Amino acid sequence: MSFAVVASIAAPLIIGGITKVMNDNKAEAMNNDIQAAQGVINDLLDNREDVYDASGKIRAMKSMVSNPYANLGVATQAAEMQAEEADISLANTLETIQATGMGSGGATALAMAAAKSKQGVSASIEKQEADNQKLKAQGEQQKQQQLMNLESQAISAEERAAQGEDARVQAQLDRAYGESDFLRSRQMGLEDAGNAALMAGITGSTSALTAGLSPGGGLT
């Protein structure tokens, strides 16, 4: 067997083997880059800052909401003074009637007038109480509406915080994962190319050897 024939058989295998070794070395050298890319991912996952969530402070404001009309009182002092003045006026008038000898009809009329005056005082107090109840109801309605608005704002703040964190962190992670995946894919590509080169070399050498062994192949 001549040297040229041996060389033609060995060459594909040698070239394939060299190519595989070179590619394996390149793939091995990429491990540091892959580990660094994974480190970036781990840092993002472990050290991400909390997104500001204002929902707690918003809900705390509920304690400040109250019904401004909850403790309304009835202004009875003026009414009581009016009733007292009516009694005094009636008493003075009765003394005058007794002193002057006026008839009972005048006293009856005065008594009726005093009673009517007191009825007006009572009606005034009742109106105040009714108005107060109306205001309390309106105030309670406003209070509940304010509480509902604050809760709605708190929920919106939570949603914004969640969306902000997802968008921010996910964008960073996507870039980091993309870099890591690219490096791993390139490493696998080098390894696959090396294996393919070696197989091609084996196939080439086998084919050359088979051709040389065939009749008229020239192996001597």
Q: Give me the percent of the chain exceeding a pLDDT of 70.
A: 61
* Whole-number pLDDT of residue 29: 87
pLDDT in tens, 17-39: 888 888 888 888 888 888 888 88
Residue 40 pLDDT grade (very low, low, confident, very high; cuts 50, 70, 90): confident
Cα distance between residue 130 and residue 165, in whole Å: 53
Q: What is the DSSP string of 2-46?
A: -HHHHHHHHHHHHHHHHHHHHHHHHHHHTHHHHHHHHHHHHHHHH
Q: Is the pLDDT of residue 218 over 70?
A: no
218 falls within a domain:
no
Cα distance between residue 189 and residue 181, in whole Å: 12
Torsion angles phi and psi, residue 18, rounded to 5: -65, -45
The C-alpha R_g of the chain, in whole angstroms, comes to 51
Domain count, the chain: 1
This prediction has a pTM of 0.38
Task: Give the mean pLDDT of the chain.
Answer: 74
Torsion angles phi and psi, residue 129, rounded to 5: -65, -40
- Structural domain including 93 reads 3-213
219 falls within a domain:
no
Residue 102 is given by DSSP the state -
Cα distance between residue 204 and residue 208, in whole Å: 6
Q: 201, 13 in Cβ contact below 8 A? A: yes
Q: Is the pLDDT of residue 42 over 70?
A: yes
181 falls within a domain:
yes
40 falls within a domain:
yes
What residue type is 148 in one-letter code? M
* Whole-number pLDDT of residue 212: 58
163 falls within a domain:
yes
Between residues 158 and 39, which one has the greater pLDDT?
Answer: 39
Residue 213 pLDDT grade (very low, low, confident, very high; cuts 50, 70, 90): low
